[in-house]
Amino acid sequence: MFYAYLIAAIVGGVLLVTSLVIGGGHGQDAGGGDVDVDVDGGDASGDHAHDAGATGVLLSLRFWTYFLAFGGGVGALLRWFAHTEEPLCGLLAAGVGAVSGAVAHVVMRRLAGSRNTGLHDESQLVGRAGKLLLPVGPGLLGRVRVTVGNSLVDLVARSDEALPARAEVLVVEVQDQTALVTQSPVPELPED
């Protein structure tokens, strides 16, 4: 059983390190993607009622990453150093994994929900320039990053025209955290 704990700790550790490297150590990575990948299809705001329940937590990739990393690590340590017998070792490992996964899920959901709430009114974004993080077009939703003061605000983007990632855009309207964008009339300067 020691090897099962060890494999779980390694898989969870690799997923955890990968999310930190891709995420740049922040809630948002430099490449513009949101690191929290949830199978439940909810947005990062955490406003959905099912996110508070066990189903939302159990469908979260973040939960399972922490569950495997910490639960597997505790199980391996208990078996190797303390020579703890089964089923006590399994129960303790599962308990530590479940608590660490649930806490990570809830804390990151709350932080993600508070990340973009600095705006009092979505209309403050209308007329601002932004940069597409993901391509957008008719029937294809993308992602746009807009700078407001010292804050970066990432929104779902839609457009009537096909625009590539990294294109400079202008926010035309914002409804329910979805921005209608168009290509910026200001030409881009060549990068050095």
CA distance 91 to 103: 18
> What SS3 class is residue 60?
strand
Residue 161 pLDDT > 60, yes or no? yes
Nearest partner of 13 among 71, 85, 59, 75, judged by Cα: 71
51 pLDDT band, cuts 50/70/90, is: very low
Confidence at 24, pLDDT banded by 50, 70, 90: very low
Rounded-to-integer distance, Cα 142 and Cα 116, Å: 17
pLDDT category at 153 given cuts 50, 70, 90 is confident
Nearest to 95 by CA among 113, 71, 112: 71
Angstrom distance (rounded) from CA 62 to CA 108? 9
CB contact set of 29 (below 8 Å; sequence gap of 6+): 22, 23, 35
User: Is this prediction's pTM over 0.75?
Assistant: no
Instruction: Tell me the C-alpha distance between 186 and 36, whole Å.
Output: 34
pLDDT band at 108 (very low <50, low <70, confident <90, very high): confident
Q: What is the mean pLDDT of residues 74-81?
A: 92
Rounded CA-CA distance 9/72 in Å is 4
**DSSP-assigned letter for residue 67:** I
The neighbouring-strand residues paired with 136 are 163
Domains located in the chain, CATH noted: 2-115 (no CATH), 122-183 (2.40.50.140)
Residue-wise pLDDT for 1-15, tens only, equals 888 998 999 999 998
